[in-house]
Structure 1
Amino acid sequence: MRLIHPFHPRCGEDFEFLERLNSWRGDVVLVLDEQGRRCSFPVEWTDMAPADVFVEEAGGVCPFRTEDLVRLADLVAGLRDGVGGIAP
């Protein structure tokens, strides 16, 4: 399993896959690092998550996911309308 989150300091590293779990935070991947220590990452930070079509089409030029851009647009619209909150 490879960590692919572009802002994580261990991005690009390979880990030994142990299992995929559903935790309070959502789907996570349990792995072993090179020292044999167990650690976990959100599935969407790994190459086990389905690829975001927008990011693929951008050819690696855009680090943002469609979902995140939509939330940002909603936040800006809310601020413009005087609402100012982020919907869950």
Structure 2
Amino acid sequence: MVERGRNWREDRVFFHDAAGGSHSMPAVWTDLVAEDPFNAVARGRAAFRAQELVELVQLIEAIKS
């Protein structure tokens, strides 16, 4: 890991690959971020969190208008 910071409105980890290229990925894809409590309790039984469904409805409404 080279750096951790906010980019594209999310917490991201920046790193170099073996060839020296720069890359980034969401920090939640790494073990740098603690597991989301909802995901820990749901253990894969819920496809979406309530907040994600609210955001989806807002996106659909924005597209419709």
TM-score bracket, shorter-length normalisation: 0.5 to 0.7
Which stretches of structure 1, 4 residues or more, deviate above 6 A after TM superposition? none
Aligned pairs, how many? 62
Kindly state the Cα deviation for residue 59 of structure 1 after the two structures are TM-superposed.
1.3
CA distance in structure 2 between the aligned counterparts of 1:31 and 1:65, rounded to whole angstroms: 29
Kindly state the Cα deviation for residue 66 of structure 1 after the two structures are TM-superposed.
4.3
CA distance in structure 2 between the aligned counterparts of 1:32 and 1:61, rounded to whole angstroms: 35
Shift in CA distance, 85/52, structure 1 to aligned 2, threshold 3 Å = same
Q: Which one has a larger percent helix, Structure 1 or Structure 2?
A: 2
**Among 58, 62, 65, the residue aligned to 1:85:** 62
Q: Which moved more, 1:48-57 or 1:58-67?
A: 58-67
Gaps of 5+ in 2: none
TM-score, normalised to structure 2, is: 0.56
Kindly state the Cα deviation for residue 62 of structure 1 after the two structures are TM-superposed.
3.4
Task: Name the counterpart of 1:32.
Answer: 16
Superposed CA RMSD in Å reads 3.0
% identity of equivalent residues = 37
